[in-house]
Structure 1
Amino acid sequence: MTQAQLNPQSFKIQLKGRRAILSFAGIILATIIMVRKAYKPVETGDDTTTATAPASEVEAPSCFSDGLPLPQVMVFDLDYTLWPFWVDTHVTGPLKPTKDGLVVKDRYNDSYGFYPDVAAILVAIKEKNLTLCAASRTQAPELAREMLSYLHVPTSPSSSSSPKALSVFDELEIYPGDKKTHFSRIHKRTNIPYEEMLFFDDESRNKNVETLGVVMKLVRDGVSRKEVDAGVKLWRERNHRMKKED
């Protein structure tokens, strides 16, 4: 005689328990599959291999030649503002420079460079004798600085002595933390009012710097000459500087 025949009630309870366990296990397995399908590891594809064009080949933002006031300080975030990647996520050191300095290679030989209009923008800022700064909250500040030390800012296709990006910036604030801290240090060292600062960044949360008096232009697809023109226009409107000044 089987166990089910001897004690049918007990057998039914055991069977229900097993079914419940199997059902619960099925739910867990389905959840794991869903999570694994949803998770996509960081890939270093073609979207990180852009390189800036020489400044002479890209038209500079029109705001630098329209005769209207300009902010004394122009500040740029790094990740997804000057270059199309997170330096603390996509890039793996050690880094290797390339001959022309347009891109940098990482440990896995992946290439990283600036957005196409960056050289023209940075060169135009320096030609106007404005203060150029970088403000980044990256978790890999040393890697970011190394990247800037290897990437060049080409002025022309034939130029053999393009400056390294690190030397172009007047102030570098690259470390984790609130961007307001970055700007307070820029203000302290330059003694330039916050109202004379224009900031380009891809994260909305960093708009908190505007409580200091800084104007921030949100960029979503990297900085470009059009974004710079739009940012300067925003700064002029906020500060009522839409007319030529003597």
Structure 2
Amino acid sequence: DIEALPAIRMTSYEGKAPPLALRPKLVVFDLDNCMWTPELYELYNAPTPDVDIELFEGAKVAMHELATDKSWKGSLVACASRTDEVQWAEKLITQFEVAKGVTMADLFSFTEIFPSSKLRHFRNLTKDSGIKYEDMMFFDDCTFNTVEIEKLGVLCIHVPYGLTKEMWRFGVREYARRKLNNLSLGVTVNNRTRKKQEALDKKIRVSRILLRVGKGRTQSQADKVLKEYLKEIKEGGKGMFSQLAEKYSECKSAKNGGDIGTMESGWGNDAILLRVVFTLKVGEVSEAVRSPEGMYIIQRTA
């Protein structure tokens, strides 16, 4: 296990997912007890999807995002399974649909399905894809696999009870954290790591200045005004953000100087705001961010 990391600075981006530089170029999944359950060796006959065997909820979420979310454009997906039931696995990935008209097999650029060491799987993957190990992320339910692969420099996420939505999203975020801090990616993280990190994240506190778009104000106009506020904040120093928020913000937090509280106040469920918060150190202010509410800037206060 590793110690949880404090929130770190990330490159600023306007309400989007981290750019490709912060995404793994190749996401690799084990199959048995990672993506689906039960394991194939437990079955007597060729399984029927969603009858004899089913995908874990986290696997459905991960596959759907990889297939449909434009922020993953440029990243590739693969599977690495050491199952003895090769033909069953190969057929199943053509049957499980993960997005409209898209099967797991459609999504996988590379398939390593044969009984062998995962080292052999990954050596084939880096050879066939041209992608370095440090640009990969791997999900597996077995520690003897993750410990073996982390030594190559691959970030490994241990999911002993199958892939969950929480561990999928934590893995993506942990990869970005380590990439930006130039920390080793050759480690295995798990649910204990996630809980430690989330305990730290919950202490983060944020203030916001929101300008709504529409009804006489365009996005371009809001962006221009926010850039003026950023200049004033830089020149005015400590306290200027809250003064401007109280005077101009169109968020109900204006009366509190823009303070929207900690993650537990509810903003932790806002994916756009959450992504931007993790770009900031305490005291730093973001650039203008686009969101369904309008345009805003945020300051991390704790």
Q: TM-score, normalised by structure 2?
A: 0.50
Q: Which of 230, 233, 237 in structure 1 is aligned with 2:173? A: 233
- Equivalent position of 2:88 in the other structure: 143
* CA radius of gyration, larger in: 1
For the pair 1:92 / 2:32, whether they are aligned, the reply is no
CA distances 1:140-181 after superposition (whole Å, capped 9, x unpaired): 1111111112222144xxxxxx32222221111011111011
- Equivalent position of 1:185 in the other structure: 124
Report % sequence identity.
24
- Unaligned stretches of 5+ residues in structure 2: 1-14, 182-277, 281-302
d(CA) in 2 for partners of 1:168, 1:125:
8
**Deviation (angstroms), 1:238:** 3.7
Q: Which of 13, 27, 36 in structure 2 is aligned with 1:74? A: 27
Amino acid at match of 1:71: P
Larger CA deviation: 143-152 vs 64-73: 64-73
Amino acid at match of 1:170: S
**Deviation (angstroms), 1:94:** 3.6
**Deviation (angstroms), 1:210:** 1.3
The answer to whether the 8 Å contact 2:57/2:165 transfers is no
- Equivalent position of 1:116 in the other structure: 57
CA distances 1:6-59 after superposition (whole Å, capped 9, x unpaired): xxxxxxxxxxxxxxxxxxxxxxxxxxxxxxxxxxxxxxxxxxxxxxxxxxxxxx
- Equivalent position of 2:66 in the other structure: 125
d(CA) in 2 for partners of 1:142, 1:175:
10
**Deviation (angstroms), 1:185:** 0.5
Q: Which of 149, 155, 166 in structure 2 is aligned with 1:209? A: 149
d(CA) in 2 for partners of 1:240, 1:154:
31
For the residue of structure 1 that corresponds to 2:111, the secondary structure is strand
Q: 1:164 to 1:229 in 2, by over 3 A?
A: closer
The answer to whether the 8 Å contact 2:58/2:168 transfers is no
Q: Which of 109, 128, 133 in structure 2 is aligned with 1:194? A: 133
For the residue of structure 2 that corresponds to 1:75, the secondary structure is strand
For the residue of structure 1 that corresponds to 2:55, the secondary structure is coil
Structure (1/2) with the larger strand percentage = 2
- Equivalent position of 1:19 in the other structure: none
The answer to whether the 8 Å contact 1:195/1:239 transfers is no
- Unaligned stretches of 5+ residues in structure 1: 1-63, 97-102, 106-110, 156-161
Amino acid at match of 2:18: G
Amino acid at match of 1:85: P
d(CA) in 2 for partners of 1:233, 1:197:
13
Q: 1:243 to 1:208 in 2, by over 3 A?
A: farther
Q: List aligned pairs for 1:16-95, cutoff 5 A.
A: 65-67=16-18, 69-87=22-40, 89-95=41-47
For the pair 1:171 / 2:110, whether they are aligned, the reply is yes
Backbone CA RMSD of aligned residues: 2.3
Name the count of aligned residue pairs.
163
Q: 1:228 to 1:65 in 2, by over 3 A?
A: farther
For the residue of structure 2 that corresponds to 1:213, the secondary structure is coil
d(CA) in 2 for partners of 1:243, 1:199:
24
For the residue of structure 2 that corresponds to 1:78, the secondary structure is coil
